[in-house]
């Protein structure tokens, strides 16, 4: 496999206004997405964050250090052209939401899940009008079609930038409710991440940490927090 990486060819990256929104120029040349579209984002703070990522690059370009750029590329090249499909995929998480599947024991884990997850479900019922049912074990819990329709409408109303952020928030956490709670400002991203990891952290307490699992969790946590930041920047 080649380890080739693009060389830095620009001196400065600058956020600027453009027709349709805001963009980033590299020595007066507009940044392009991988699909060769002009990178146009909805807010100046997002453009400034992307410019900062480009300015921070060394002699070679490292996309792994550019989460806001990657998010914008995904929103423009992928989500914009597949909005309905992405929205439907995310809406389906409502029918298998992490928060609805509870342990049968021990009592301490049952209590911990309830303390972390019940407030999120109550928020969804009170604020969104979507009350989800809860069950024990892994067998499918049938949900009220009207509640699922409400959640689907929430997701379908997102523009491509919000939907790109929601994709990671929901898919990484396994919870449509948690993803919506983050974008609605109900819960801080760090707290939402911990809420999504109740079961995993319980297992660590019982059996100890696994180095590979810890590394994977760190990667997922970073991606989750990056998605929350991307959403906030898209609304600024």
d(CA 25, CA 91): 36
Extract long-range pairs of 194-197: CB within 8 Å, 24+ residues apart: 194/116, 195/116, 195/117, 195/120, 196/98, 196/172, 196/224
Q: What is the pLDDT of residue 87?
A: 98
**Full 3-state SS string of 101-162:** EECCCCHHHHHHHHHHHHHHHHHHHHHHCCCCCCEECCCCCCCCHHHHHHHHHHHHCCCHHH
Percentage of the chain beyond pLDDT 90 is: 95
Tell me what the pLDDT averaged over the chain comes to. Answer: 96
pLDDT exceeds 60 at position 3? no
124-180: per-residue pLDDT in tens? 999 999 999 999 998 999 999 999 999 999 999 999 999 999 999 999 999 999 999
Q: What is the pLDDT of residue 193?
A: 98
Q: Does domain 13-65 have CATH number 3.10.150.10?
A: no
Per the CB < 8 A criterion, the answer to whether 151 and 89 are in contact is no
- Model confidence at 40, pLDDT cuts 50, 70, 90, reads very high
165-203: per-residue pLDDT in tens? 999 999 999 999 999 999 999 999 999 999 999 999 999
Provide the residue ranges of all domains of the chain, joining segments of one domain with +.
13-65, 83-235
End-to-end Cα, the chain, rounded Å: 40
Q: Which two three-digit tokens encode residue 203?
A: 């297992």
What are the two backbone dihedrals, phi and then psi, of residue 43, each rounded to the nearest 5 degrees? -140, 155
- Model confidence at 2, pLDDT cuts 50, 70, 90, reads very low
Q: Do 13-65 and 83-235 agree at the fold level?
A: no
79-128: per-residue pLDDT in tens? 999 999 999 999 999 999 999 999 999 999 999 999 999 999 999 999 99
Domain at 83-235, CATH homologous superfamily: ATP12 ATPase (1.10.3580.10)
Q: Which residues contact 181 (CB under 8 A, 6 or more apart)?
A: 120, 123, 124, 187, 192
Q: What is the pLDDT of residue 94?
A: 98
d(CA 36, CA 51): 18
Per the CB < 8 A criterion, the answer to whether 53 and 69 are in contact is yes
pLDDT exceeds 80 at position 4? no
pLDDT exceeds 70 at position 6? yes
Q: What is the pLDDT of residue 1?
A: 37
């Amino acid at each position: 496999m080649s380890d080739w990486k693009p060389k830095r060819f620009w001196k400065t990256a600058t956020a600027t206004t453009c027709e349709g929104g805001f963009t980033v120029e590299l020595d007066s040349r507009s940044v392009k997405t991988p699909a060769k579209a002009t990178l146009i984002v909805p807010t100046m703070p997002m453009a400034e964050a992307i410019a900062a990522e480009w300015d921070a690059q060394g002699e070679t370009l490292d996309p792994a250090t550019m989460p806001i750029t990657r998010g914008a590329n995904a929103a423009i090249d992928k989500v914009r052209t597949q909005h309905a499909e992405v929205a439907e995929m995310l809406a389906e998480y409502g029918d298998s939401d992490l928060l609805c599947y509870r342990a049968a024991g021990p009592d301490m884990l049952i209590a911990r899940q309830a303390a972390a997850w019940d407030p999120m479900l109550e928020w969804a019922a009170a604020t969104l009008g979507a009350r989800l049912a809860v069950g024990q074990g892994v067998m499918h819990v049938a949900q009220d079609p009207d509640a699922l329709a409400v959640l689907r409408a929430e997701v379908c109303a997102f523009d491509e930038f919000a939907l790109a952020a929601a994709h990671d928030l929901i898919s990484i956490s396994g919870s449509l409710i948690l993803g919506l709670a983050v974008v609605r400002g109900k819960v801080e991203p760090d707290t939402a991440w911990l809420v999504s990891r109740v079961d995993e952290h319980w297992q660590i307490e019982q059996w100890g940490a696994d180095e590979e699992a810890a590394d994977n969790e760190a990667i997922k946590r970073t991606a989750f927090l990056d998605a929350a930041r991307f959403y906030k920047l898209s609304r600024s």
